[in-house]
Structure 1
Amino acid sequence: MAEKQDFDAAAFVDQLSAMTDEELFALMQKLEGESEDIPSEDRDSSDVFLRIAMVETAIEDRFPGQLLAPYKDWQQRRIDI
């Protein structure tokens, strides 16, 4: 996949650090949606799962000791709206 070859992890980390919590959570939701559409045989060649892991790390760094609870809370609030 050409997309994977073009993926710049360092630039992506920089983008994540500049995002608000809302933007970070929205990106995670978008990536989770994208991951559901990837056939199992293409998962190794997709960078979506790498991006998800990097966003998870960014969330955990912002909210130490809470794992992904802030993201899950955000999702729940969006459902309740």
Structure 2
Amino acid sequence: MSKALSKAKGFKQSKSGTYLSMATTAYGVFGVAKQVKKARREHDTLRLLDAAVSAAAIVTGLALLVRELKRLGDDDVLLG
């Protein structure tokens, strides 16, 4: 396996990959905000509950990624 391919496969476990995952996860907030607006406008409790569960999933996902980022510390696979 080439060194470049090896680095590419390790991207997800790198700080850069974790930051990218955090950004894409946080981007989900826009969809949830849109869903909340629509639910409030239509007085749809079920859709509002769905938005709340989705928001909780985003918060949990970000918390997991922050923990992963702390775990990575200085031993970033792309640097070594």
TM-score of the superposed pair, with normalisation by structure 2: 0.44
Larger relative contact order (C-alpha < 8 A, sep ≥ 6)?
A: 2
Between structure 1 and structure 2, the one with the greater Rg is 2
TM normalised by structure 1 equals 0.43
